[in-house]
Amino acid sequence: LLVLFLQRCLQLLLLPIHALACLGLWDSCYKKVFPYVMAKVAPAYNQKVYSQKQELFSSLRRFAGPSGQLRLLEIGTGTGTNFQFYPAGCRLTCTDPNPNFRMFLLKNLSENQHLRLERLVVASGEDLHQVADGSMDVVVCTLVLCSVSSIRKVLEEVLRVLRQGGAFYFLEHVAADHCSWTYFWQQVCDPFWKYFGDGCCLSRETQEELEKTNFAELNLRHFHVPPCWIPTSPHIIGYAVK
């Protein structure tokens, strides 16, 4: 009951935004603004998880193909904040459903000239038909599965584009322990968080979806991004092998 009461209070506070969303006006406007927001927020987030990302991506090289080159697809590349962690000579395919990120992505790419951009595709993670079957050594997805319409469809596409023995790398904020105050606030904020996070859901059970997907191997661990009381603090990180 308390969750419902607080949700109603937030609904009153955000009534103008809710009205714009119902009229179909909010998404079109916010998709133009969101890349500018992420360009400011992403570097600060990267500092908080720098050591975790550095450790995670340090093993990318082991999945390079027979030629020694690494073919890497990133889903929801955004501003390109992961570029600094990718190995030199990496053959990069970037996808994002929001074309307004392009300017920021290219700027970040110019600062990471150790990478080779092969393709920049405007596409959602649920539909990567422009990427051929088994054409990638690695697929990367960070802070994306929280906002897709179907995690299952994204993971099906990941399996399709990965070669046998390739790997899916992920870092996502997820639902907190259901007995915690963090989960309580996730439930309160969830219906409205999507307006400011471009569809982001605070209480996704992403680990369950990964466990149900037909990966040969799944390496996953939990950690919290400080401060631990914020709704986006609980995270999972790891990689899965096809």
Look up residue 149 and give its amino acid: S
This prediction's pTM: 0.94
**Does the CA dihedral 105-109-110-112 come out positive or negative?**
positive
* Beta carbons of 240 and 167 less than 8 angstroms apart: yes
What pLDDT, on the 0 to 100 scale, is given for residue 18? 83
What pLDDT, on the 0 to 100 scale, is given for residue 212? 96
Q: How far is C-alpha 97 from the chain's CA centre?
A: 12
* Beta carbons of 63 and 70 less than 8 angstroms apart: yes
The DSSP bridge pattern shows strands 116-122 and 217-224 to be: unpaired
Radius of gyration of the chain (CA): 18
DSSP result, 45-108: HHHHTHHHHHHHHTTGGGG--TTS--EEEEET-TT-TTGGGSPTT-EEEEEES-GGGHHHHHHH
DSSP result, 173-213: E-PPPTTSHHHHHHHHHHHHHHHHTTS--TT--HHHHHHHS
The DSSP bridge pattern shows strands 217-224 and 234-241 to be: antiparallel
18: its two tokens: 């809710």
d(CA 105, CA 120): 10
Domain count, the chain: 1
72-108: buried (b, 16+ CB within 10 Å) or exposed (e) per residue? bbbbbbbbbbbbbbbeeebbbbbbbbbeebeebbeeb
Residues 6+ apart with CB under 8 A from 21: 27, 195
CATH code, 227: 3.40.50.150
**Tens digit of each residue's pLDDT, the chain (242 residues):** 788 888 888 888 888 888 888 888 888 888 999 999 999 999 999 999 999 999 999 999 999 988 889 999 999 999 999 999 999 999 999 999 999 999 999 999 999 999 999 999 999 999 999 999 999 999 999 999 999 999 999 999 999 999 999 999 999 999 999 999 999 999 999 988 988 888 899 999 999 999 999 999 999 999 999 998 899 999 999 999 99
**Enclosing domain of residue 13:** 1-241
d(CA 63, CA 183): 36
